[in-house]
Amino acid sequence: MRAVFDEHGRRSLIPTGEPDAHFECDEVLVAVGQDNAFPWIERDIGIEFDKWGLPKLDEKTLQSTLPNVFFGGDAAFGPKNIIWAVAHGHEAAVSIDRMLNGEDLAVRPAPRTRLVPQKMGIHAWRYDNAISVDRRLRVPLRDISAALKNIKIEVELGFDPQLAAKEAQRCLNCDVQTVFTPKLCIECDACMDICPMDSISFTANGEENELRPRLRAPALNPSQDLYVSETLKTGRVMVKDEDVCLHCGLCAERCPTGAWDMQKFLLEMTHAGAGCRSAGTQTASA
Ligand SMILES: Cc1cc2nc3c(=O)[nH]c(=O)nc-3n(C[C@H](O)[C@H](O)[C@H](O)COP(=O)(O)OP(=O)(O)OC[C@H]3O[C@@H](n4cnc5c(N)ncnc54)[C@H](O)[C@@H]3O)c2cc1C
Ligand code: SF4
Ligand code: SF4
């Protein structure tokens, strides 16, 4: 066999015509990959399949070439994971609801977003913001002698509630955002001094290429946007490099005016039902 990769990096094994090779073995463990197979779908009902045997679908609506048939999960685009399977289910349900109500499937309802301040007191937050360098906790395993005696025994025991809570403490709080309000800033530079990552710089504005290397921590990853505030009273701007921010909240704790706030970002996808229909709701074009 010879491995050939297409333009998407997808591998196919092509027979080279060489003679079969035989290997003597005591035992063979078969490790199979997972694949889709739809032999039970008649090929003349209008559902088209691609060269990989996967149904041809609209990526956004999950609609097949037979308009009233939708696919989701591993059956849609091949093996993925549970997060994708659930997301496909949501999107397909929205498509089906819109189709049954005579609405355009390509118009997708906009998700709702909210930012919620996390401050409770001067130094207290609604989320755990302690910086920890804890390594990933190991999932407890069953005693090896018991596991080896019975192939049907489950080896990973899973976290108990205490261990699960400890593991959850390692969360990086990516959902909590640093929100800056320029008009409240008195340019005391305290946030810049306290930031453990040198994520914040107060400096003269400039062209991006020239600005990036002169930040307190040079922001050399051009794929990560910088946040550049409007011009402040002294003529400087506040520049934040999100790439290195720990979401620790020290800037917001230190700020005497509340110009920095830590706000939880909530994204709510629209579910199938009245809310996903164009009639009477806010929608966004695909
Ligand atoms: C070994 C392994 C480990 C994985 N680990 C993870 C992981 O840790 N995290 C993660 O997110 N994902 C993981 N995945 C991927 C995840 O399991 C799949 O992406 C997910 O289960 C897909 O969900 P699904 O509903 O699309 O399909 P499935 O869960 O495969 O459900 C399809 C169902 O349809 C049934 N079915 C098939 N044909 C027919 C038919 N003709 N008639 C009626 N019923 C039929 C099947 O029996 C099955 O119950 C793993 C996958 C494998 C194989
Ligand atoms: S949250 Fe922490 S790391 Fe991020 S900018 Fe504020 S002080 Fe710096
Ligand atoms: S601590 Fe607050 S007021 Fe001071 S520079 Fe930072 S944002 Fe502005």
Residue nearest to atom 2 of ligand 3 (CA): 255
pTM of the entire predicted model: 0.72
- Atom nearest to 75 CA in ligand 1: 26
pLDDT of residue 281: 53
Output the CA 71–ligand 3 centroid distance in Å. 51
pLDDT of residue 184: 97
Largest CA distance in the chain: 80
Degrees, nearest 5: CA angle 120-122-124: 50
Structural domains present in the chain: 1-107 (no CATH), 135-168 (no CATH), 176-268 (3.30.70.20)
Tell me the C-alpha distance between 178 and 132, whole Å: 19
Reported as a single tens digit per residue, the pLDDT across 218-230 is: 999 999 999 999 9
Give the residue from 261, 241, 240, 75 showing the smallest Cα distance to 181: 261
What dihedral angle (degrees, nearest 10) is formed by the CA atoms of 266, 269, 270, 272? Answer: -140
Output the CA 207–ligand 2 centroid distance in Å. 24
Which of 57, 74, 80, 156 should be mutated for ligand 1, with most atoms under 8 A from CB?
Answer: 74
Tell me the C-alpha distance between 263 and 170, whole Å: 19
**Exposed, middle or buried by CB within 10 Å (0-12, 13-18, 19+), for 249?**
buried
Reported as a single tens digit per residue, the pLDDT across 52-87 is: 899 999 999 999 999 999 999 999 999 899 999 999
Reported as a single tens digit per residue, the pLDDT across 236-253 is: 999 999 999 989 899 999
Residue nearest to atom 8 of ligand 1 (CA): 81
Reported as a single tens digit per residue, the pLDDT across 179-229 is: 999 999 999 999 999 999 999 999 999 999 999 999 999 999 999 999 999
